[in-house]
């Protein structure tokens, strides 16, 4: 029996690979993707990518995108209420599985599973337990193209912002940094790959910081 799923979408490389794996699996049918967006800024939190670019990704994927607005500096309770409302809608449409791209952070997976369980939903983690170096190589080998949108200045220098996620990037990356940025060292935006019907046109704009200069970002501007 084919099971309907919704895929958590950050717009980045890991989400893209997880979606790719599920789309190729005959046991699953992707009903759509969803993203949590800052209600005030219209951007993906931390990544700081505009929701209009996520919409362009969804169009190129041929999948419906659900935007879940989250108030700025929302408490965990408010965040969970926003997601809970969405999960109820999923259940009403016969979807009870959510796909996440997490690799190994047990606390995050546990948090997701506990929240899903409250709404009689289940999580599916197609990349879970895979080594970060192999996932990084797989993303590139499968033909995904991504740009580094965000860097945590406490872990990487700001010169890494705007670089392309490719084999040269992985080779130059300090050994202390996870190749997939799984610990929040950096974030990406995928602009092309095997699941896209066409590449997402964009250009790099100015650099800007958030959270007291902790994160440095590059503005991705639509073309």
Using the structure block, give the residue that is written with the tokens 């219209």: 42
Q: Is the pLDDT of residue 164 over 90?
A: yes
Residues 97 and 201 in one domain: no
- For residue 204, the domain's CATH number is 3.90.1490.10
Residues 104 and 182 in one domain: no
Decide: helix, strand or coil at residue 69.
strand
Residues 208-223 have pLDDT tens digits of 999 999 999 999 999 8
Domain C-terminal end among 67, 101, 124 = 124
Question: How does residue 117 score in pLDDT terms, banded at 50, 70 and 90?
Answer: very high
CA atoms within 13 A on the CB side of 183: 8
Residues 129-156 have pLDDT tens digits of 999 999 999 999 999 999 999 999 999 9
Q: Could you give the CA distance from residue 187 to residue 208 in angstroms, rounded to a whole number?
A: 15
Residues 140 and 120 in one domain: no
Q: What is the DSSP annotation of 79-107?
A: HHHHHHHHHHHHHHTT--EEE----S-HH
pLDDT attached to residue 1: 86
Task: Write the CB contacts of 176 (distance below 8 Å, at least 6 apart in sequence).
Answer: 155
Q: What's the whole-model pTM score?
A: 0.95
Task: Write the CB contacts of 52 (distance below 8 Å, at least 6 apart in sequence).
Answer: 42, 222
Q: Is the pLDDT of residue 73 over 90?
A: no
Average pLDDT of every residue of the chain: 96
Domain around 21? 3-124
Q: What's the chain's length in residues?
A: 223
Q: What is the number of domains present in the chain?
A: 2
Residues 195 and 138 in one domain: yes
> Which DSSP state fits 144?
-
């Amino acid at each position: 029996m084919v099971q309907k799923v919704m895929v958590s979408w950050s717009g980045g490389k890991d989400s893209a690979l997880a979606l790719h794996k599920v789309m190729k699996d005959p046991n699953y049918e992707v009903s759509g993707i969803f993203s949590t967006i800052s209600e005030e800024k219209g951007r993906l939190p931390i990544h700081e990518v505009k929701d209009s670019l996520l919409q362009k990704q969804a169009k190129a994927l041929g999948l419906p995108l659900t935007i879940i607005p989250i108030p700025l500096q929302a408490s965990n309770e408010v965040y969970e209420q926003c997601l809970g409302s969405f999960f109820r809608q999923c259940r009403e449409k016969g979807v009870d599985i959510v796909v996440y791209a997490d690799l190994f952070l047990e606390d995050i997976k546990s948090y997701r599973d506990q929240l899903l369980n409250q709404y009689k939903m289940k999580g599916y983690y197609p990349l879970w337990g895979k080594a970060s170096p192999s996932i990084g190589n797989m993303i590139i080998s499968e033909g995904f193209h991504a740009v580094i949108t965000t860097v945590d200045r406490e872990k990487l220098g700001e010169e890494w912002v705007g670089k392309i996620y490719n084999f040269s990037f992985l080779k130059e990356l300090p050994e202390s940094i996870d190749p997939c940025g799984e610990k929040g060292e950096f974030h990406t935006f995928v602009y092309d790959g095997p699941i896209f019907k066409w590449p997402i046109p964009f250009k790099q704009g100015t650099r800007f910081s958030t959270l007291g200069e902790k994160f440095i970002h590059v503005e991705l501007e639509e073309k």
